[in-house]
Amino acid sequence: MSGRVEGKVAFITGAARGQGRAHAVRLAEEGADIIAVDICAQMPGVGYPMSTREDLDQTVKMVEGLGQRIVAGKGDVRDRESLAVVLDEGMEKLGRLDFVIANAGIMPVFGEESQQMRAWHDCLDVMLTGVLHTVELTYPRLIKQGTGGSIAITSSMGALTPMMRTEGKHSMGMLGYTAAKAALVNLSRNYASFLAFHHIRVNTIHPTGVNTPMIHNDMCQDGFANANPEDLKTLVNAIPVNAVEPEDIANAVLWLCSDESKYFTGSALRIDAGASLR
């Protein structure tokens, strides 16, 4: 099957690399045009390299290489107005909006910075308030358009299972990350409830570890190398893989956007390689 989202337009946050880029490319492969936004800057409290404008430019090249249109710009999910600038330009050029992928995230969970209260606030600001800004900005446009739609929110298996087995893994960043991701479940169900009348579905996606720059960096490698063996028992996949690929999550996003999921809403979709079984 091809062209599953032909003629549709998706707004994706955190689109410069990792899962966000994979979502943009997978949807483009199936006929969607893309509005892509990313901060393309380093947050002071995040202990690994974040995305750059060059990363976002590469996403643009990949989507355009598939013959689809893309409007991309810098924006910070903590600042709703910066998102609106990119969204307005995208809708003006592409003509509509059908899907919203609230994907932007950070993971300041190891190192000295993770022990600071700033890590807690940064996690809530980006991954909870940032999702709120994204959805509040977009859902009225979906209602006005009157053709339904899908909102997919990137959560985590860390929302559904404890990520600390010893005090050694305790940090303000880990607490903030998991609290924000867990709160997204409630947030999405509330949106799903009142948007169902308009045929707008809202769901969260809960991956296990994903092979992206968010985990492949010195901060995480040092954290894992120095971890208590007991803490390494968190998020152990039943299917014997260390992590899944961003394309695996993108396939789930495609399904959530396609008509194949037209009655699937208010749900927490686990793409966890069976981690919840362990």
53-64 vs 18-29: helix crossing angle, rounded to 10: 10
Tally of CA atoms within 13 A in the half-sphere of 167 that contains its CB:
0
Yes or no: say if 138 and 11 are a contact pair by the CB < 8 Å rule: yes
- 177 catalytic residue (yes or no): yes
Which candidate in 48, 139, 177, 191 is catalytic?
A: 177
Which residues, 6+ apart, have CB-to-CB distance to 12 below 8 Å?
Answer: 20, 23, 24, 34, 35, 36, 37, 101, 103
φ, ψ for residue 155, nearest 5 deg: -105, -140
Which residues, 6+ apart, have CB-to-CB distance to 26 below 8 Å?
Answer: 247, 250, 251, 253, 254
Which runs of consecutive H residues, i.e. helices, occur in the chain?
Answer: 18-29, 53-64, 80-94, 117-124, 130-145, 172-195, 218-225, 246-257
Sign of CA dihedral 89, 247, 14, 129: positive
**Residues designated catalytic:** 177
